[in-house]
Chains A and B, each alone.
Chain A
């Protein structure tokens, strides 16, 4: 059991009467890349929000890195080592690339000044350039504000942010949804880099080709429930689609472990 990095049991989230997520049992092993697929509104993002503490779950347990966890907010999850690219990009439009990369974890000087401590722009800029270099993300001018960037470039910034900081688990919610061919390739390269480094990943994606290319295992959500847990090597696109649309039901589904 020691190689399990994340495990949820009976994870449930209700929004008033909406059962967005019901009884999700999910396991992720160290170094494993898992894709979550499912129709719009199937509960994928909801699942991520419960794990990362963006919202408080209705019921269920989450174990991360060997301990049961109750993150009170995304910052706690990040401190524990979960880096997340949320579907709605958490970027500040009026700030530039380094500012966004380091938002909430700025490199500072003269820390005795408390909230008025000084920003170390030079160090953050340097680290940003290195981070972009490492992830091969190309952005014309990092001093540009996010507002002046294309949707794809924004996405790249958000992804570079997760890849710039060391983490125990990376979660990406539809990271390539808005991207062109080149940018998608960049993101996929970042994912391959994570795989090589042995860093586990949860990837939410609607892109079958991408999923088949990148991950070890596919978990399918339907109407708030996990209905399939398929090894990539033992399945194919048609099979997965059948689960997504409900043509095939979770009869063969025997738990995620």
Chain B
């Protein structure tokens, strides 16, 4: 539609001037970070001219170091699934700190419904329940995971929507509760030996496929459905959303339910991949998921961000993590550097906000 001369006060609108999406910036940042690690690999004395992402063994089938790429996306995809849910929570103007411990609790509970009866001919040494819980069809543990996630999310959402407790506090409480559940479930003992069907859910590259599939689904949901539009609207201006007739309370409950269901599903994939569940699973996942979203341009003040951004943010996160290992940075320093990067991303968001505010 040609409306470029529909100007208020004679202002002209230049169509070419728009359309520089924030996602492109993150993509460029991703490339720059990769190049930095490449350069470090070439220049650090102890690195012996290794390459970060490219193949150094002069094979002809691929220019990339596939093993490392594979590790990066595998590492990223399980937390990435959580980050998809966290993205919509943050867009709605909230925050969810409970997702990491929820992964632990869900993994413990769900694995108990996914155990085999016989291990190497003998009875399962890690059995949690009696006979009835052995060799159940894979759908049952998955449904239990989603139901448990929905329950936790409904509690989070209801606390936030109806009692107006700040999301930070409500989900922090749930953080402790979930970690408690995870530890109480078997008094700290791991739960292992899943059925073949369950083990298949997260084997090989399956976590990556789940992540990509869910990312596409939620990209669509946020962009093209009523649910998505209202999520943005609430995060952008909650009063306006309410005045426009959106049932803000009900919507918030839904948003937190979806987030927790995704976290519980991530627990399924993680425990399936590891073939075991431990009460300490998912430590720091809530922060890493938030970091992926924030690095991906999701604004902590709500109303802004996208799934594409979060997926790119997850890639940046994975590349940085893997890059630290690649340049042999100690784990302690890795943690510190990660923290600095998260703070940096939030500061960047703040600067962006203020620049936007200045314009008006």
Contact = CB atoms under 8 A, between A and B. Distances in A.
B238 to A, nearest CB: 9
Interface string A59-99: 00000000000000111001100000010111111110001
Interface stretch (B8-16, B128-136, B147-155): B8-16
Interface stretch (A22-30, A104-112, A168-176, A212-220): A104-112
A10 to B, nearest CB: 26
Contact of B243 (A79, A90, A144, A182): A90
B209 interface: no
A138 B236 contact: no
A21 to B, nearest CB: 20
A113 interface: yes
A82 B325 CA distance: 62
B8 A92 contact: no
B246 A103 contact: yes
A115 B226 contact: yes
B19 to A, nearest CB: 10
B58 to A, nearest CB: 50
A154 to B, nearest CB: 9
Contact of A104 (B227, B246, B254, B359): B246
A152 interface: yes
B226 A108 contact: yes
A182 B9 contact: yes
A116 interface: yes
Given A74-B245, A92-B241, A140 B226 contact: no
A92 B240 contact: yes
A153 B9 CA distance: 10
Nearest to B15: A141
Interface string A123-164: 000000100000000111111100111111100100000000
Contact of A117 (B6, B226, B246, B254): B226
A94 B92 CA distance: 12
B209 to A, nearest CB: 22
A89 B240 CA distance: 8
A140 B8 contact: yes
Determine the main DSSP class of A at the interface with B. loop
Interface string B216-230: 000001001111010
A119 interface: yes
Given A90-B244, A104-B246, A118-B224, A99 B11 contact: no
Contacts of A141: 3, 6, 13, 15, 18
A183 interface: yes
A138 B6 contact: yes
B245 A93 contact: no
A54 interface: yes
Contacts of A183: 8
A94 B244 contact: no
Nearest to B5: A140
Nearest to B356: A147
B244 A103 contact: yes
B239 interface: yes
Interface in B101-154: none
Given A103-B240, A104-B245, A92 B226 contact: no
Please indicate which of the listed interface residues B232, B241, B243, B359 has the most CB atoms of chain A within 10 Å of its own CB: B243
B194 interface: no
A86 to B, nearest CB: 7
A148 B355 CA distance: 11
A119 B224 contact: yes
A180 interface: yes
Contacts of B226: 106, 108, 115-119
Contacts of A78: 245
B336 interface: no
Nearest to A75: B245
Contacts of B356: 147-148
A150 B6 CA distance: 15
Contact of A90 (B1, B18, B227, B239): B239
B237 interface: yes
B233 interface: yes
Nearest to A108: B226
B197 to A, nearest CB: 28
Most A CB contacts (10 A, CB to CB) among B11, B13, B240, B356 go to B240
B11 A140 contact: yes
B275 to A, nearest CB: 34
Contacts of A121: 224
A148 B303 contact: no
Given A94-B235, A150-B360, A54 B243 contact: yes
15 contacts: A54-B243, A90-B239, A92-B240, A105-B245, A108-B226, A115-B226, A118-B226, A138-B6, A138-B7, A139-B8, A141-B18, A143-B18, A147-B360, A148-B359, A182-B9
Sort A-B residue pairs by CB-CB distance and give the 3 closest, nearest first: A75-B245, A104-B244, A104-B245
